[in-house]
Amino acid sequence: MTRLGSKSSAATACLSFESQSLETGSRLTKSQHTLFRQLRQEISQLRTFIAEEFNRIDFDPPYRELLDYLEFSDDAQLQLFWRAFQIPEEKDGFQMAGANGSVMDSDYLFDRWCKGKEPEAMANHISPECMPIWALTMDQRIFWRDQWAAAILEEHLEALDGHMTRSDDIQRRIETIYNESRRALIRRKRIIGCTTTAAAMYSSLVEAAQPDFILVEEAGEILEAHILAALSPSTKGLILIGDHRQLRPKCTNYSLSVEKGSGYDLNRSMFERLVLQGYHHSTLLRQHRMHPDISLLVRSMTYPDLLDGKKTFSRPSVRGMRDRVTFVNHSHPEGNIGDCGDRFDSDQKTSKQNRFEAEMILKTVKYLGQQGYKTENMVVLTPYLGQLRLLREMLGRENDPLLNDLDSHELIRAGLLTVAADNYQGEESDIVIASLTRSNNRGDIGFMKSPERLNVLLSRARDAIIMFGNMETFLASSQGELCWIPFFNLMRKHDYLQDGLQVYCEQHPDRSALLSVPEDFDLKCADGGCSEICGAVLGCGQHTCQRRCHSILDHSKVKCDQSLEKKCEKQHSYLVKCGESHARCRHCLQEEADIARRAKRDLEIEKDRQAKQAAYRQELTIIQDEIENLKRQQKYLQEEESQSRTMQQLREDLAALKETKRRQESMEKSRQALTCQNEKSAAPIQTTSDFAPDSARYEWERMKRDEHASNAELDMLMSMIGLESVKRSFLDIKSTVDTALRQGVSTENERFGCSLLGNPGTGKYRNTAHGRSN
């Protein structure tokens, strides 16, 4: 067995087809997953296209779209229209401007044409063959424009139809892929449970299962179309179980319902139609829900052959209630609430409420709670949304302790309040409390004229039913007399019709009361009993209960409120309730509280001191760390500066040594060159002592000795005889150049030379050659 659909209870969760398919490994393959994703993406795009087409259909096409239609049309006449609305293009970046100086849009002329205006200054730019278009009257222009709009709409409809057809095809492919692995699983199931909605949603799975028989429960409240959607070609039999004398299927359009009488009968179920047409059917005659006192009502009005099951005779009576069936009659008028109309009452745009009935119902719920009944034992039925809202609001404001014990906020969720008897069809409860709501002098009962609605209302209770309503209003209704007059006659016959709620005391059965107004509950049975003193022995075994009679039978757990005088170990005298005899002396408690208070104070002081010490130590540590860090940084900085100075001095020393080495090497090379030259000339080595101190040769020898000067050309010049002034000039030039080199002074702007004057043959040319070499 399996069940289609997402909703399930704890009992049916294991039957869910989804969970069963996961357990059996009925999953898609990798290729199916890929195709599934592609189809989902495509259908998502199609939905966007469909939405866009719908938006275009809902509105008139804009001018730009109309112009595009004319431009791309194959009709020559439409092409002529398009040319008549074109603005000439300007060169060199200029644009056409209108009378007010604004730039002309591409639809400027078309806009003027649609509004019946002339092209004005643009007439000179329009071709003569297009001028008849501007001569059309306004009606003719509207005619042409509507034709174009209709053609565009037709294109959008064709596109929309194509998108929707494609979307349907993709959706069928998606369902085929998704259900392919699930069909094999559902074919193995003998029984498939689902709602008619699920049968329509999972039609491919139902068809794959090929069910021979379809069994429909509550067929009397299911639309015929929903049953037809669940049928498949393999269906051999259809079994319908229901009751056509209870509420029909819900129909949101009242004008199509049976009650309207227009002949559409949309809310007439297949079950009812077949029964009314005399189709063969079987009727169940024995009921196992209602006590015979309650089944008497539906037997007399709807099911004359109804029999009671044996267990119904042993249904327990309701504690504190005289009768199992009670109709409390009143004359308090109804009210209107304008923002929640009832869909079953098409003539009314508002819903109804009755504050008196709402107050009586809440008091009745409280009274039943005092008798020991819980939320699951009772249900409140009201046919009107306005009355339901009023009951919810009153429950929300109610601060009664007993209703709080009943958990008033859970009453609605637990089923105590429901929208209408309509929604409670097929359900049951031990005690049903019904608010008929309608109360007016016009006999206006709206949709309460339906006998099916009354039948559902009367057949929900197992042990008791309590109804509140205005009998005169229902009897005065011309539309509901066929069901309500027999009903009230039955109420009178069996003495179920009362002016209030008949109650009695369980502890003192001879004490009874008639509760006609909400105040009577507090005056006559405030605690759910009567006005007698309870007198039951309390749990202490020494005193009796002094409250008014109430429904508590076992007083062993009830605390005694009698005051007793006691002495503690410190000989303090104090009063204490008997039910709290183990309570300690308040003087001792006060002393202990003072001790605890002082200890708490001292503890807080100590905690505060320790917190301050901890904060001091933490801050001290931070400051010390900061000082040490700064000292370390200064030390590292000084070390870096010292190392930098040392390194700079070493670099300078190294550079000086390299320079000295370079000069020495240069001098050594000059000395070697001079030596070689002297060897070649075989000239005897002369010393400065061989020359006059004031001679140029003497100065040159001194320079070679002291300054390590070396120059072969000067040696050759000095070896010549005479020419003293010439030699002196060359030495001066050399000294000037050496001084400039040592001081790093540039000699670019200096000019060195020597003029030789003399007779021919005196050595001018030879000396000049030496000068050029030097």
Q: What is the mean pLDDT of residues 338-358?
A: 70
Among candidates 693, 701, 713, which has minimal Cα distance to 769? 713
Angle between helices 63-71 and 138-187 (to 10 degrees): 90
CA distance 151 to 18: 49
* CA–CA distances in Å: residue 216 to residues 40, 207, 230: 35, 17, 10
* pLDDT for position 409: 35
Helix (H, G, I), strand (E, B) or coil at 577: strand
CA distance 311 to 289: 9
Choice among 64-68, 285-289, 358-362, 469-473 with the minimum mean pLDDT = 64-68
Please answer whether residues 386 and 418 qualify as being in contact, where contact means their C-beta atoms are separated by less than 8 angstroms: no
Q: Output DSSP code: residue 314.
A: G
* pLDDT for position 93: 52
286-337+349-530: CATH architecture: 3-Layer(aba) Sandwich (3.40)
CA distance 431 to 679: 150
> What beta strand segments (E) does 470-596 contain?
497-498, 501-504, 512-515, 528-533, 548-550, 563-567, 573-577
Count each helix (H run) and each strand (E run) in the chain, helices first: 25, 20
Q: What is the mean pLDDT of residues 690-705?
A: 77
CA distance 503 to 519: 15
Helix (H, G, I), strand (E, B) or coil at 321: strand
* pLDDT for position 420: 45
Rounded to 10 degrees, the C-alpha dihedral 152/154/160/163 comes to: -100
CA distance 561 to 429: 39
Angle between helices 292-301 and 481-493 (to 10 degrees): 140
**Residue 511: is its pLDDT beyond 60?**
yes
CA distance 363 to 380: 12
Highest mean pLDDT among 57-61, 683-687, 735-739: 735-739
For residue 490, the one-letter residue type is L
Which residues is 533 bridged to in the sheet?
548
pTM (2 decimals)? 0.56
Percent of the chain surpassing pLDDT 70: 85
More confident: 344 or 223: 223
Please answer whether residues 673 and 681 qualify as being in contact, where contact means their C-beta atoms are separated by less than 8 angstroms: no
**Residue 523: is its pLDDT beyond 70?**
yes
Highest mean pLDDT among 52-61, 228-237, 688-697: 228-237
pLDDT, tens only, 400-433: 544 544 443 333 333 344 434 455 556 889 999 9
HSE on the CB side for 666, CA within 13 Å?
A: 11
216 token code pair? 């429909």
Q: How many CB atoms lie within 10 A of CB 412?
A: 17
**Residue 364: is its pLDDT beyond 70?**
yes
Locus of tokens 């039609």: 203
Q: What is the mean pLDDT of residues 387-402?
A: 72
CA distance 551 to 556: 14
Every domain of the chain with CATH number 3.40.50.300 lies at 193-277, 286-337+349-530
* pLDDT for position 410: 36
Strand bridging mode 548-550 / 2-3: unpaired
* pLDDT for position 514: 93
For the chain, the average pLDDT equals 81
Q: How many CB atoms lie within 10 A of CB 330?
A: 19
pLDDT, tens only, 297-343: 999 999 999 999 999 999 999 999 999 999 999 999 999 886 655 55
Please answer whether residues 395 and 366 qualify as being in contact, where contact means their C-beta atoms are separated by less than 8 angstroms: no
Q: Output DSSP code: residue 514.
A: E
CA distance 4 to 730: 126
* pLDDT for position 675: 76
CA distance 572 to 157: 97
Q: How many CB atoms lie within 10 A of CB 200?
A: 15
Strand bridging mode 378-381 / 528-533: unpaired
pLDDT band at 641; cut points 50, 70, 90: very high
* pLDDT for position 133: 84
Angle at 359 (CA atoms; ends 358, 365), nearest 5 degrees: 90
Choice among 87-91, 289-293, 342-346 with the minimum mean pLDDT = 342-346
Superfamily of domain 193-277: P-loop containing nucleotide triphosphate hydrolases (3.40.50.300)
Strand bridging mode 501-504 / 461-469: unpaired
